[in-house]
Amino acid sequence: MSSTRHSLRWMVIAGAIVTTVLLIPIIVLLSMFVFRDNPGARSLEDALQAFRNGDTSAVEALGAVVTRPSYGVYRANASGKASISFPPTSQNYGASAPVTVTHQGDNCWTTSVDFNAAFQQRWSYCIDNGVMTEHKNVTSTAWDLGAASITNVSEFTCTPPGEIIKAGEQRDQLSTYVCVGTSDTIAGITNSDVTFQSLGIASLEVESAQVPVFHYREIDALTGPQRGTTRIDYWYSVQDMLLVRMERHIDLRTDSPVGDITYKEDGEWQLSSLTPAR
């Protein structure tokens, strides 16, 4: 009996050791996930260095119906939050969100917004026959899962380009177009049916000055592996089409082996300076 009790005791001890060994990595992974860092704001200096490493040559104005904005890195204040349902995690906008304008060729430019150090979206615009058009937009988001991180890059191309601002446009006038999207982590093609609505001319205060702006609302209906709706309000400077303010409300679902993963985002940003750093 004593040998049996001895054997049982060692079996219990061995089982406890095995259980502890198996639990330790799980506890460590859970701790890393729970105590992971928020990405934080991307600094203006980082955005400025990235801008200086690119091409900054181009013409400032075109003398057409619209004029593209001056290139450089603009300061902006931001607040907002993006989240995914699985694994359940979120990240906040940085308190500051550098906005970078880069000229492309003679009549195109990109506007990039760094919502934080891990989340950026970039829009490609052109002036086509006096009309401001959107050609594509690219979003890159990294998610810190504690022991690992995942990055998703999605690109939506609009063919033909979507008409954003044109001469003689009236309040409540609508324009519609379609953008087709792909992702480096999600198989398949997502279609985005875009409705762009003119909400007229408004005024925003930047650096204690009133800035006349065109106010537009974009509503996207997405179908495919990514499904749902986005509503984004844009305020473009009447003077040079500079994107001065944005409000975002996004609710999407994505196919995955564990079922639908929900992405939600609500936030806003506005320029705090109209003078770009270069």
Shared-domain flag, residues 64 and 183: yes
Shared-domain flag, residues 122 and 108: yes
Shared-domain flag, residues 9 and 48: no
Whether 64 maps to a domain, the answer reads: yes
Shared-domain flag, residues 136 and 224: yes
Shared-domain flag, residues 108 and 23: no
- pLDDT score of 227: 97
Shared-domain flag, residues 108 and 235: yes
Number of domains in the chain: 2
Dihedral sign, Cα of residue 135, residue 140, residue 237, residue 74: negative
List, as one string, the DSSP characters of 78-110: EEEEEEETTTTEEEEPPSB--EEEEEETTTEEE
d(CA 278, CA 274): 13
For residue range 119-168, what is the model confidence (pLDDT) as tens digits?
999 999 999 888 999 999 999 999 988 777 889 999 999 999 999 988 77
Shared-domain flag, residues 13 and 95: no
Shared-domain flag, residues 28 and 141: no
Whether 277 maps to a domain, the answer reads: no
For residue range 251-272, what is the model confidence (pLDDT) as tens digits?
999 988 888 999 999 999 999 9
For residue range 32-65, what is the model confidence (pLDDT) as tens digits?
444 445 677 776 566 546 544 543 333 233 334 4
Query: How much is the average pLDDT of 193-213?
Result: 95
Shared-domain flag, residues 259 and 244: yes
Whether 174 maps to a domain, the answer reads: yes
- pLDDT score of 9: 37
Shared-domain flag, residues 11 and 119: no
pLDDT at 3 over 70: no
Shared-domain flag, residues 44 and 30: no
- pLDDT score of 22: 41
Q: For a pLDDT cut of 90, what percent of the chain falls above it?
A: 65
Shared-domain flag, residues 52 and 124: yes
**pTM passes above 0.85:** no
Whether 276 maps to a domain, the answer reads: no
Mean pLDDT of the chain: 83
Name the residue range of residue 254's domain: 36-271
- pLDDT score of 53: 57
Task: Assign 276 to helix, strand or coil.
Answer: coil
